[in-house]
Structure 1
């Protein structure tokens, strides 16, 4: 029989609200919240360790939940009031989980190929853009996503939501621009920077070799440090009135060109 919590004044529930709302609490505790059956399933597949799973029985039964979970997990049945207090959206099938965050450094990256394809994003600010980049990388089966100078933590609920759980399916590392460039160069990975300056059309380049495709923010683009260490700057030719597009759209075009050249292997 699972434990029950019905009050939003419960001290544990108050702690979980802090986890949902505050990056500082997520970093300090090493815990974060997951919402939804699909997201929970992907986290389990990504070998995330679950601390506790909370469920609202009117939306999901304990039996259905046990089908999703692959091991014995601490279950807590919660009331509608508690669920609504914790849920970030109202379509998450009545399940939330408290999970332990992972370390995302270069030592954790493992490549199963001699020609890895990596997506690098410098200082992305909007959680929605980060989520979309992670979805793009998952769709292309990229070998890794590296975020330079991150402005928000990976376990922000908006990133988990907008990535539809792809934060759990990608290999992800974070670091400074300088450290990432050093990592790429030491591993003989070509650096292709999406930039307006000294650039050539993206489809003229050979992305079948070890490749990092680097994108910056729509507002400021990439820092000079990236441009100084670029193997080649690349550009997507614009045929309309504007000279830029959404960063995740641009990343999708570039990374799928690399996949096309690799015959989608």
Structure 2
């Protein structure tokens, strides 16, 4: 048997709304919220841990969530009214997860290839732009994405949505500009910067050596 929630005044519902809306709360609790089967599966594939899974039986059948192999005490059945209060998208299949955050420290990054290809982003602000960059990195099979001085946390719901879950499948680390430059130099990775009036076309660069 699963625990059930039918009231939007339930403290768990209020906690989830706080996690969705406030970066400070996400950082304090080291938790974030994910909607949708695909995104939750990608989070698990990326080594994330589900704290609580909530599902609406009016929308999704119980057998669909059994693939997550969670103990019953980690699963909560919610009413359609509660789900509609929590869901930010129209097509998330009736399932929402609270997931444990990762630290994303530079020293946690390891490379599968001897000469990695890395995307470095400087002070991105808009979650949608960060999500698009993560999708591009995933499609190009880059070795890592390093974000210098980010203006929003990686678990902003709009980043998760716009990245289509690629925030979980990419190796991502954050740090100051100085920290990232030092990290790249320590790992003998060449640094290239894009500019409108560049002296050399990006197409003429040999990226077969470690490049960022």
TM-score normalised according to structure 1 size: 0.78
In the alignment, what sits opposite 1:107? 107
Decide whether aligned partners of structure 1 residues 186 and 197 sit closer, same or farther in structure 2, where only a CA change above 3 A counts: farther
1:42-89 deviation per Cα after TM superposition (whole angstroms, max 9, x unaligned): 00111101100000111111111112x144361101111111111111
CA distance in 2 between partners of 1:143 and 1:205 (Å):
18
SS at match of 1:16: helix
In the alignment, what sits opposite 1:20? 20
- The question of 1:97 aligning with 2:97 is answered yes
1:220-254 deviation per Cα after TM superposition (whole angstroms, max 9, x unaligned): xxxxxxxxxxxxxxxxxxxxxxxxxxxxxxxxxxx
In the alignment, what sits opposite 2:55? 55
In the alignment, what sits opposite 1:175? 175
SS at match of 1:193: coil
CA distance in 2 between partners of 1:18 and 1:144 (Å):
30
1:112-144 deviation per Cα after TM superposition (whole angstroms, max 9, x unaligned): 111001001001111001001001111111110
In the alignment, what sits opposite 1:134? 134
In the alignment, what sits opposite 1:226? none
In the alignment, what sits opposite 1:204? 204
CA distance in 2 between partners of 1:154 and 1:87 (Å):
19
SS at match of 1:84: helix
TM-score normalised according to structure 2 size: 0.97
CA distance in 2 between partners of 1:131 and 1:198 (Å):
26
CA RMSD of the aligned region, Å? 1.0
In the alignment, what sits opposite 2:31? 31
SS at match of 1:103: coil
Structure 2 residue runs without a partner (length 5+): none
